[in-house]
Amino acid sequence: MCRLAMKTASEPFGPHGVLTAMEAMQEGYDGSGLGLLLRGVRFADYNYQADAPILSGIAHSEAALHRLDERMQAKGFALKYDHEFDLRPGLIEARDRHKYFVRVYSPPASWKGLPKEAVADELMLTRVGLRQDGEAHGNDLTAFSFWPDVVMIKEVGWPLQVGAALGLADDRIKARVVMAQGRQNTNYGINLYACHPFFIQGIATMTNGENTAFVPIKEYLSGSQYPGYIGYQSDSEVFTHILHYTLRRLGLPLEAYKHVITPLKTEELDSHPQGAFLKGLRTACRRLIIDGPNCVMGSLPDETVLLVMDHKKLRPATIGGKPGEWALASEMCGVDAMIPDRDRSLDFQPMRENTVVVPPHRQEYAIWSQLQPLPLPQAA
Amino acid sequence: MVAVAAVATTPSSLTYHDLPWIIDHREDRCTLCGRCTSVCPVEAIHLTYRRQRLPNLDLLKKERGSTFRTFVGIRQRTELSRRCIGCGMCSMVCPNEAIGPRPNANDERARFHIHQKMDAWKRGGRRNVRESLLDRIVFTRISMLTDPALDAGRHEFFLNTILGRILSPEEFLRRHAKGEWIPPTREIFPFIIGSMSFGALSPNMWLGLLQGVAYLNEVLKIPVVMATGEGGCPPWVLRSPFLKYIILQIASGYFGWDEIIRAIPQMQCDPAAIEIKYGQGAKPGDGGLLMWFKVSKLIARLRGVPERVDLPSPPVHQTLYSIEESVMKMIQTMSMAWGFRVPVYPKISGSTSAKSVLNNLVRNPYAAGLLIDGIDGGTGAAYNVSMDATGHPIASNLRECYLDLVAQGRQNEIPLFAAGGVGKNGNVAQNGMALIMLGASGVHLGKYIMQAAAGCLGSERNRCNVCNIGLCPKGITSQNPKLYRRLDPDDVAQRVVDVFGGIRTEIKKIMAPLGRSQSLPIGMSDALGIDDEAVAKRLAIRYVC
């Protein structure tokens, strides 16, 4: 079963500490892979400006890399920085990894003046296009993310070993938010895309557990014909897409996410200040109710970090830390590994109605309860 | 000895060996109390004198000869109108277990003679086919990764479904922000007591169902609803708070609707929904028929018709010629009558045109759902050939419609309800959940409820199945007080509660190993498997063997 570790801190830090937390939680999981998302990125050998998009992925052959270059050039992207990993390829099980790329591009000149949403759509379409190009060529090109300030790395293998293979302990890449997941994609075939965290337009989540409502949710999301709602090699990818759907397409606040995926019972809504609205929302979004058991951790473009449980709360998750530095993990020992010198009285394990949010200032975390009023102008 | 020439043979002469059911009578046990003959609903048996020869076998005397004994015995009638229907009421009342019907193991010849007096045979019940595709579907996706596993007995489960038009989230938020009309919805239990009219059912049966439903809702908080079928609703029910558990049906005969419309100003609450009947799975293209035997004084008053006349509803709504027009006129009119607070949906027979009907409804903002009734549906009266050989099985029909909605990204916006043979062999929760995982939002039960809650004797081997002639031996579908007094409404209510309590437990037993507890697994087709490759392909589920 998967293990999750996430750390957010005001000062950028290397991802190796988070991998150590994965190691601390090794009992009971097969460590069959590593998925890593870094946000608020700082490169040791490049002065990165936070608005330039970063493309992360793997080219499995020379030809794929060429096609990637041609495609990006044709679209008008200019390569600003190409991160060279300090590789130890012997530690990687797979033999067809030609190049792990983390590349900073400057966007095409024609995008100047485009509204933010249009830029976001273009970035997503570029990533989807690269992915489809890879799939059309025998999966020789894998594109995980293309977004400002986000780096993603996914590989099959024991997390610490993957980290060593990619030289992640050298701190040449640091970040303010690091999400890590030890992968075992449940039920479906082994696939690099099945590795958490999942990403769409700056929104990323990772999950431990099994989403038993996967097929109906997938069918609903796919039916909406939105170009980014593809993939679904893992049943957990829908959590990311539901979060994206809630925030971007419905324009609801983050507080509404929990109401969409795990709505309250009728009896609870009967006494809720926005009960009538929330009942309507529950009915309209009924096809997006997750059935767990899952713990979902996510991060947003403004470096907000969140943690929610499914309604049954059959997965553990803990948050702990100190002002300016918070760690979230699926096991308490994961938190211990990431921030050993914290005030333990601040540790918290959310209940089924809670959303734990660490805002970008990171001074304290907030606990939102679904039973509380929902700050929603429409709902007033 | 009877002279051979004196035996009367006509084209339809039959002996009791030719009938579907043969009465076994044990004279050695019979006390001739006469209860069996008096209880038989079709008078298939009668007491009669018989003569037995007793040969004189005194070896010491020269004369031979016989003496005779006359005694009273039981004889089975062979007229088709009085053939034994196998209901077994005789054995139920017999104090000595001396009598009972036995199914004819031979090819019974009665079926060649059932058309009498230029009329094709009509009967109640369901298709005479015991096989059920639904019975063969298994739930394969057992969630081994869900640790700790869900416990059907301890976990909290949300089992309810939504009846009513569901807006897309975008549209819901837009309308909510602008304060526009949002279609009404109901949170109901996914197993619904389907349309059986007040007229088809006896007053005691109907009262028992209503009592049971009220108890389920008000005491046990299981929001079961029941549909009335055509023929209105007793006035006191229309004006009672129980109306909210009732789906009123409007069919092409419009029977009972005068009373309903008149009662609107005095209604304490809204009905659960309005169902517009276009077709019935057991007799597509047949319309409704309440035979004159059942049009009692009470029924005549409720329906606004004279007593003792046949009440046929035409197969189509005479005022409309298309579903488009119907949606425009009837659904909107009915919605308007209750201030747009009540979901209004049509019920159609399973057919190859179901998908077109559905797509038409999807584009109408007032349509609240679609009920598709498959060929295995039951009926109070239909021509034999309609019931046995006309119609479309529900599983593939429903699946096709659901997948059509999925392709449009609009699944469950129009909730699909399925009916027709759910629980025909007793596997009600399994059948219903299989349909739900194929895409239904809920299922309607008719005959299962009669069988389970009132002891209906009808079977798929054409046992009993005389709901049409007003002689229901259990008093379920009879309007004759002598018969329906056999049924105690309190007992029916108790059974209804037992049945739904049991269904609820079994639903949980199905959902728990699947790892589902927060929402009904509508469309969770990855959980289904069947041991037939062609069926699996057709239904887009897993082939397992």
Which token pair is B174? 């837009």
From B322, B287, B294, B289, select the one nearest B308 (Cα to Cα). B294
Could A310 and B518 be called an inter-chain contact, meaning their C-beta atoms sit closer than 8 Å? yes
pLDDT tens-digit readout, A324-343: 999 999 999 999 999 999 99
Q: How far is B534 from chain A (nearest CA, A)?
A: 22
B386-424 burial, b at 16+ Cβ within 10 Å, e below that, comes to bbbebbbbbbbbbbbbbbbbbeebbbbbbbbbbbbbbbb
Contact B531, B136 (CB under 8 A): yes
Distance from CA of B146 to the nearest CA of A (A): 7
Alpha-carbon gap: A31 to the closest alpha carbon of chain B (Å): 16
What is the three-class DSSP state of B388?
helix
DSSP states of B394-431 as a string? HHHHHHHHHHHHHHTT-TTTS-EEEESSTTTTS-HHHH
Q: How close does chain B come to A220, measured CA to CA in Å?
A: 5
DSSP state of B197: -
Identify the closest residue of chain A to B516 by CA–CA distance: A291
Closest CA–CA distance from residue B374 to any residue of chain A (Å): 24
Return the structure tokens found at B375. Answer: 């060929």
* pLDDT for the residue B147: 55
Q: What is the pLDDT of residues B253-286, one digit of tens each?
A: 999 999 999 999 999 999 999 999 999 999 999 8
Q: Choose from B156, B160, B403, B518 for mutation: most chain A CBs within 10 A.
A: B518
Q: Which two tokens stand for residue B75?
A: 């004889």
Mean pLDDT of chain A: 92
Query: pLDDT class for A356, splitting at 50, 70, 90?
Result: very high
Residue A314 has pLDDT above 70, yes or no: yes
Inter-chain contacts counted by CB atoms under 8 A, chains A and B: 111
- In percent, the amount of chain B with pLDDT more than 70 equals 98
> Which amino acid, residue A165?
A
First to last CA, chain A: 42
User: Using the beta-carbon criterion (under 8 Å), do B517 and A277 form an inter-chain contact?
Assistant: no
Which residue in A2, A219, A260 has the most chain B C-beta atoms within 10 A of its own C-beta, making it the best mutation to test that interface?
A: A219
Residues of B with CB below 8 A from A376's CB? none
What pLDDT score was predicted for residue A380?
41
Q: How much is the pTM?
A: 0.94
pLDDT of A190 reads 66
Could you tell me the CA-to-CA distances from B213 to A175, B30, B489, B540 in Å, in that order? 60, 43, 12, 36
Find the CB nearest A312 among B182, B406, B517. B517
The single-letter code of the amino acid at A365 is: Y
Query: What's the pLDDT score for residue A94?
Result: 83
Picking from A222, A225, A378, the nearest residue to B177 by CB comes out as A378
Pick from A1, A284, A291: which is nearest to B169 by CB? A284
CA distance B158 to chain A (A): 8
Residue A173 Cα, gap to closest chain B Cα (Å): 35
Q: pLDDT value at position B55? A: 85
- What are phi and psi for residue A374, nearest 5 degrees? -95, 125
**Banded model confidence at residue A184, pLDDT cuts 50, 70, 90:** low
Q: What residue ranges of chain B have pLDDT lower than 70?
A: 1-4, 145-149
Interface test mutation site (partner A, options B139, B140, B141, B145, max chain A beta carbons within 10 A): B145
Assign residue A356 a region (left: φ > 0; alpha: ψ between -120 and 50; beta: otherwise): beta
> In chain B, which residues have their Cβ closer than 8 Å to the Cβ of A187?
145
Compare CB distances from B145 to A186, A287, A290 and report the shortest one's residue.
A186
Q: What is the pLDDT of residues B83-113, one digit of tens each?
A: 999 999 999 999 999 999 999 998 889 999 9
Q: Give the distance from CA B230 to its chain's centroid.
A: 14
Q: Which two tokens stand for residue A67?
A: 């096609």
Tokens of B9: 């043979």
ipTM over the 0.95 cut-off: no
Pairing of strands B161-163, B186-188: antiparallel
Q: What is the pLDDT of residue A379?
A: 44
Which residue in B has a C-alpha nearest to residue A265's C-alpha?
B158
pLDDT score of A96: 85
Which residue of A287, A290, A330, A370 is the best one to mutate when testing the B interface, meaning the one whose CB has the most B CBs within 10 A? Answer: A287
CA pseudo-torsion sign B295, B312, B122, B208 = negative
CA–CA gap between residue A284 and residue B440 (Å, rounded)? 17
Sheet with B138-139, strands from edge to edge, namely B138-139, B528-530, B542-543
Closest chain B residue to A286, measured at CA: B519
CB B112 within 8 A of CB B142: no
Say what the pLDDT of residue A233 is. Answer: 87
What pLDDT score was predicted for residue B1? 57
